[in-house]
Chains A and B, each alone.
Chain A
Amino acid sequence: MSTTAVTTPSGLRLPRWAAPVGAAALFVAAYLVFQGTGTLPHDKEAPQFLAVTEFREWIDDHRNDNPLFLYFLNYVRLFVAWLYDLFLAGLHALGWPGITGVMGALAWLAGGWRVGLLALGGVSAFGVLGLWESSVETLALVAVAVLLSLAIGIPVGVWAGLSVRVRRAITPALDVMQIMPTFAYLAPLALFFHIGAPAGAIATMIYSIPPAIRITALAVSQVSPTAVEASASLGATRWQTLVKVHLPLARSTMALAINQTIMMALSMVVIASLISAPGLGGEIIRGLSRAQVGIMLPAGVAVVIMAVVLDRMMMAVAHREPHAKTGRTNLLAALALAVAGLALIPVLPKLWPENLTLNLVAEVNDAVGWAETNWYAVTTFIKDATSHALLNPLESLLTSAPWWLVALAVLTVAWRVSGPRPALVALGCLLAIALLGVWEHTMQTMTTVAVAVLVTLMIGLLLGVAAARSPRYSAVQRPLLDAAQTMPAFVYLLPALALFGTTRFTAIFASVIYAVPPVVRLVEDGIRAVPGTVVEAAVSAGSTPGQLLWKVQLPMARRAILLAANQGIVMTLAMVVVGGLVGAGALGYDVVTGFSQRTDFGMGFVAGIATVLLGVMLDRITQGADRRPSPRKRKFT
């Protein structure tokens, strides 16, 4: 523990760099002395894994006679399956003319002719891409998941909005749910709900509930207290106040909640196809397993289109004036669209006519093949250089260091950046990972995350600073970032796979494109938030633009940058784990194997838990930024 004593900011009399450098030197010395001892190599047959595998066998054998399953879980499964079949049957009954017409009409009502046309075009695009069936299945799955999320999330959110105590109680749970990498949900769900559409819908629901609860709670709690008081003093009951005052006033924020829920559901619904949920995700998995970008690309595009259409519709609802009435022409147009769509149901075939589809599989595959052969030298060089220069040394460092040394390092860094409590939580997570028997793979995943975060932050800082300094550049970049953030995470695997094949680097590349947009945005906002007076003072004191940036803007935006790092790490981890599908190995691969090899189920399950713990740990290490003032902050002010 002597190292931690050195790094605590008590020794302010020493030069500022002495403590970190001293601690680092101590760690290096300890590593050199103890290297290779106290390692925890991976054992596929660890008793922890076998116990879980056995538990699963037991569940499989008793799925039909254990009361918990017989009277509860199986009913949940049946109910969700029924709901899904209902939606699917409804959508199938509408056929493509019906769906197109009705979606167009709804969009027109929500946001006028622009959104209406967007919806018409978007829905038709599913057919043109040759993915009508899968798109309808995905739509049904998303509808079920969103409906269930809202059915549970809105009441809980309203309750949390009205009661501070409830809000405090559920916030930590929501925190964990939001940093939990999506992959981690799947194994437990497969265990309790088996595979298929119902399990997929439930997984999606769990993933998309937190924003529903959070934003609803926020919306309700922000309702002006005067309005509430006025209502109460007029003799309204609590229920009346809720229904007539809280909910209407919170309407537009709640539309935002629904929007977020839909977006989360859309990104999860693709991953849920790993447990055999139907829909577009299946196409993406199929493309992955055949390494054919031509199969994946149309499905990815369809998911993005669906996200954009639904997003624009919900945002239009959210941004509408509270008392604006839908104009007569809009109403008529929407009605006409819906009627036209419905009237065409008997006339046109239910399935999208095949001669209207655009089959691009071969072309895309050819293009990818061309890129592969022609860029082979460059991509291989980047991949190999990164692997040899960064990944392999760091990985062997982390896996050959004694576990206690790594734990000590985590404790020290977390204490320094975030304070004692988060540091202890981080340490606890790490020790739990060691006990679970997945230490080595966790260290490997951490290596990949570390490299990816490094690259993400470099690019993010660069683009963020550029955007903050040039409004014109920012105006170009913003819409791109918006679009990138609407896209489901899975889509980013496509270009990565096309360029780099199945290796760890593929996961890094994908997670960098996934995590850069929010980082850029946070950095840009942070730098812009630096008060103009300070900037002016620095300029008038003769600072060059470079000095202004390094001495004033970046230091003052430190909190935002740390927050960006925190976000970047959490997002990168989620993506690196998904990268297990494309050769990232380690924890993500364990999870994937757990689904496909019965004897490895336990390992996959445990790896899922370890991912969550790793996520919490990394979050706690870096959360100092937004949740409490950092100990170092006073030095800058």
Chain B
Amino acid sequence: MKIRLLAGIFALGLAAAGCGGATVATSPSSTAPAAGSGTASASAGTVKIAINPWVGYEASANVVAYLLKNELGYQVELPEIKEQLAWEGFGTGDVDVIIENWGHPDLKKQFIEEKKVAQEAGSTGNKGVIGWYIPKWMVDEHPDITDYKNLNKYASLFKTSESGDQGQLLFGDPSYVSNEEALIKNLKLDYKVVVGGSEAALIKSAQQAQEQKKALLFYFWDPHWLFSKTDLVRVNLPAYTEGCDADPKKVACDYPEMDLDKIVSTKFAQTGGKAYELVKNFTWTNEDQNAVADDMTNNGMTGEDAAKKWIEANTAKWQAWIPK
């Protein structure tokens, strides 16, 4: 009862004192400035790195988090927030860093140019590309299947209980970057997008498809550890040309190869001190990411353990990221 009373009094006080109104950005937030104190012993502040739902992203986030914790003495929070919500989190203090951003020119325009709550923090060094894939055995049996023009011919192979009379195009997490609906419509393909719901659903289906020789057409992306374990072939959609994906409804071309980059909140860029420097300096290769992601998925390691293993084996690489 006392707490409730106190809370009520506090609320009144809050309302009376704050005649200027409350803005969302004033919500309690974390990144205390690192204040240039040389020692990394005391907690230097909290960094919130959003976790997007695919393991490659998590690999990058865990490596950066490990270094922030153990080399610079920061607290790190890794909240699970999907891509677009994470961008919104920049404005509200829920997110400081997106460690692997896939394009999103519209969000960049909105949050970086217009609202100015976020900033770019350079490339991750990873090259990313999204595409449609099929297991290799299908190409062996039907060599012309990799041309999108022949997909309709084979649509009946891809039928499932979920896609009805059409072929199934298996999609991942609902939050992923996607032109699938538009591609199917604009290329006049007799396919239906069926949402598996997660990266894991895609991986499982791909492995089953190759091992048990089942037909599967699915959305996937590189960098990914799966390519080193399962033979997959990319379907050739009409080649990407600059600006062919400008209007999301009229897209009829493949995905571009993207330079994956890091995005940070403006506040973090200004007050993040060494943590911000480290995030900005972080850059590695697709192979590096795949190694960590593979350990996390297939070798039963937690993100932290996998990051530790990579960090112990690649001292030279990460030491270049640590701010002086």
Q: What residues make up the interface of A, taking CB atoms closer than 8 Å to B?
A: 44-45, 60, 63-64, 67, 69-71, 74-75, 77-79, 81-83, 85-86, 147, 151, 194-196, 276, 278, 282, 285-286, 288-292, 361-362, 383-384, 387-388, 391-392, 396, 501-504, 581-583, 585, 589, 592-593, 595-599
Contacts and interface: CB of A to CB of B under 8 A. Distances in A.
Which has the most chain B C-beta neighbours within 10 Å: A196, A278, A362? Answer: A196
Given A75-B15, A504-B162, A593-B174, A276 B197 contact: no
A193 B157 CA distance: 47
B204 interface: yes
B143 interface: no
Given A289-B53, A596-B173, 18 more contacts: A64-B25, A69-B21, A74-B21, A74-B22, A75-B15, A75-B18, A75-B22, A79-B11, A82-B10, A194-B24, A194-B88, A276-B85, A278-B79, A290-B199, A291-B200, A392-B164, A501-B204, A596-B82
Contacts of B28: 81-82, 85
Interface string B172-202: 0111000001000000000000011111110
Contacts of A81: 27-28
A281 to B, nearest CB: 10
Contacts of B14: 75, 78-79, 82
B75 interface: no
A195 B18 contact: no
A69 B82 CA distance: 25
A589 B248 CA distance: 21
B195 A291 contact: no
Interface string B136-169: 0000000000000000000000000110100000
Contacts of B27: 77-78, 81
B94 interface: yes
Nearest to B177: A597
How large, as a class, is the contact surface on chain B? 35 or more
Contact of B81 (A151, A276, A362, A391): A276
6 contacts: A70-B22, A71-B21, A85-B28, A276-B94, A583-B196, A595-B82
B249 interface: yes
Interface string B68-85: 000000000001111111
Contacts of B11: 75, 79
B106 to A, nearest CB: 8
Contact of A596 (B83, B89, B201): B83
B26 interface: yes
A291 B161 contact: no
Contacts of A361: 300
Contacts of A286: 80
Nearest to A79: B11
Contacts of B55: 290
A71 B14 CA distance: 11
A290 B196 CA distance: 11
Interface in B81-111: 81-85, 88-89, 92, 94, 107
Contacts, number: 140
Nearest to A505: B161
A195 B85 contact: yes
A290 B198 contact: yes
B161 A384 contact: yes
Contacts of B175: 595-597
A243 to B, nearest CB: 13
Interface in B193-251: 195-201, 204, 248-249
B23 A74 contact: yes
Q: Taking each of B107, B161, B248, which has the highest tally of chain A beta carbons within 10 Å of its own beta carbon?
A: B161
Contacts of A502: 195-198, 201
Contact of A292 (B85, B162, B181, B200): B200
A289 B173 contact: yes
Nearest to A361: B300
Contacts of B4: 147, 151
Nearest to A365: B300
B174 A592 contact: yes
Contacts of A598: 84, 88, 107
A63 B18 contact: no
Nearest to A73: B22
Nearest to B15: A75
B80 A596 contact: no
State the 4 A-B residue pairs at the shortest beta-carbon distance, nearest first. Answer: A70-B21, A596-B175, A291-B200, A387-B161
A79 B14 CA distance: 8
Nearest to A75: B22
Nearest to B201: A502
Most chain A C-beta atoms within 10 Å of own C-beta, residue among B53, B79, B92, B198: B198
Nearest to B249: A45
B22 A290 contact: no
Contacts of A147: 3-4
A288 B198 contact: yes
Contacts of A85: 28
Contacts of B82: 595-596
A276 B79 contact: yes
B292 to A, nearest CB: 15
Given A285-B80, A596-B84, A582 B22 contact: no
Contacts of B89: 195
A36 B175 CA distance: 33
Nearest to B178: A597
B107 to A, nearest CB: 8
Nearest to A362: B300
Interface string B1-41: 00110010011001100100111111110000000000000
A596 B162 CA distance: 23
A583 B94 contact: no
Contact of A290 (B7, B161, B162, B200): B200
A392 B53 CA distance: 31
B181 to A, nearest CB: 7
Q: Which of B25, B196, B201, B248 has the most CB of A within 10 A?
A: B201
Given A81-B28, A392-B164, A583 B23 contact: no
Contacts of A292: 200
A69 B4 CA distance: 24
A578 to B, nearest CB: 13
